[in-house]
Structure 1
């Protein structure tokens, strides 16, 4: 019988779920960079967890707003299940410190990488689902997402989508994103991105990933446009 370390037992207590099969929790926290023939990684659990999360969120949003249209629900749903949100939830419960990573990933700052944190969060959801069933997984998600669900904006489109729709509504081509610079060490890079419209309006922003920098630049440009 696999036994959890005191650190993982405390983690289980913190998230409010005790595993009958502790091996599922260990697998959920194991990245492919350290997997082997005898040690499974969390990729299959991540695949399942993404689907469980989607179902729970779709149901939660329907229950929260009985009058919302599909067009209103879709952006709210996307805001709640996207990788950045999963990573944010993962940070809030300290998953990064518990990840089992290969040496190369540890050196490159894997414990802080958004993709790895988001994947591990989805894998954790699947681990609870496999161990305790849908009701337990649903309870975990609703607990951890909590006010993110009730406070999600009526129009939760991400800035890049909103800016593209703004341009399309004015018969213009999609915004153009250009990487201006990349600085910092591999484990903590900084990207500077410029977004420019065909009409000449532009904005720049920096962030720790290209996607985040693009979103930040799009948000800044939308604010300048008064959109």
Structure 2
């Protein structure tokens, strides 16, 4: 649970970027029998579910690395990877023509196939939306790897989904005004959020004994699930 709040904070900080990238999909959702509010809540719930599954996969990988005694190097490596991503100037996916065509097709399919759809269909489209390529989601997944725990990886991604959700819900319920205002003005969102994430993981790996930010070396060591290790006697 230690990583739920950081995940929420990261999501809130990055929600402006998500509003521009995923806001048009929220606007494209047709409102059927499920009602205006329920359909968007289900859609965002499906997105969070996908993030949780991805967090479990990546967190489990991180847990294996931590079990080998590499949790501190892993945390520092995650911070370095995030910084490297910033320095490489990740291209905006919407500037890539194949992605723009895919993105436009996805919105059209949502509009066409969900007209009059039952409520569970909105949950399914939200899960699909969670799989869309996004630099900020990649950064969150790299951070989940750095938690070194399956549970913490899940909590990080659930928090990220919850943090990005409120603004997307407001967009879905209020219309395109917010997206139109934000478009072209949120390029700073990813660098700021990723920079904060990178700093956190590097400090965490250094073991500086700073409460909640950089635990001491002993606190970062992998512990046995049971206090009594198995014995053959």
- Give the TM-score normalised by the residue count of structure 2: 0.27
- Give the TM-score normalised by the residue count of structure 1: 0.27
Of Structure 1 and Structure 2, the greater strand share is in 1
Of Structure 1 and Structure 2, the greater helix share is in 2
